[in-house]
Chain A
């Protein structure tokens, strides 16, 4: 049974009370919130995710609460609460939907240390994964959204989860975060894409989340093997240009982009070295998504031969 089996009134009622538990990839989340837009955003973005019944272990209990004191009423705020902690500063209540996504990411990146976790998008074709590490604003999520609209499967637009023992990459398959101009770019590129309501004036600008197509969720349990590490950079109107990057430099950059490399120690070092050894490493500059898709398709075709 998926979340879509509950009507919006029931979603609101349950979120106000004991919460709703869903599964996304290897993790279970229980979401609780009395804030109506959270219910609307959650019901829309996670409609096709399986509900988890009360007997299963819940990995992360995410509670988005109203601000305290006057902040309940005057310029109201939303607080993310987790195990009695509030790890983030409260935000304006209008930012509650993106906060839900950021909070879920935080839960995984700060605690799922059974994986080496990279701050990188990751997509799959023919069982082979392309890891796309890049700083915010480099076009990583836009590229990821574009590729997943053209035959590549989404594993994650934000967190690459690598199993240290076999290097397999686990799918999270959560909504894709798009910001500012990226929204109109993807709307034009994939008219069938569906988005949550845009939240304006966040720390990242205008933010919306792209819903993950059902066909990607149907394969959520299929892992992939690393085949490429590509450092993307969007440059307006630039021709697509793929250049080789040394494995050493790629490994250092991946280490810099890892959430838990220091924590894992040698358990992180070995898989990081193995991922880089098993992958073709590139820098990639692009200005148009059609060109980018063609380049990635040619990478996949070359591997198939």
Chain B
């Protein structure tokens, strides 16, 4: 695909039949996922579901054993500079050089990004209440998360990838700062992909979500459509029953006697 063709693609991320194995553990199973350009995409799943492994493939840190990965229409392993220069990334473990002072870290990182916005970086630093003279090793967990977020944001990337961005942030920062940043980035027409196990947070800010479990995508759709298509129903039967009939789209049911609660989905997960 040509560079021009790649930029014209409506999808910013296209993963096809991706599988990944670590020794005796299958981390990703024939996983396919499309992330459209613009908006907030929430990747949700429990610990070990495959979220970080998927993200590492998107960043070219892991090469696909089977299947393909395209970001901006490009293979991130074959064209790392062209892909990574347009991505802002906050890793789950916030791996930052401990020996640097924050001001040195910002200067150092700036050198890699021609689009680095120093005014915006300073604005974020103040909003995040970070002292530029502090060494990274002295930052608290929350400060480390905010420093990582600052670095991910300051070059105004087309795609912002946040791996468990709430980890280490207190609830107020999470709701007020992180939430507003994610929305602001998306409102500017850019794309945010963030992984989280905090589902209330995802529900609040995501336009689209994908549920990942044991390396498989169980469901992906617009947030609004997912909400609209899942229902809880309480049914009253005329006669008491221990085995009420199933409803099409039923995910689960519970009850006794004449009153049963059904949980149903009106969309296919295929």
Question: Does chain A bind chain B?
Answer: no
Measuring CB to CB, which residues of chain A are less than 8 angstroms from any residue of chain B? none
Measuring CB to CB, which residues of chain B are less than 8 angstroms from any residue of chain A? none
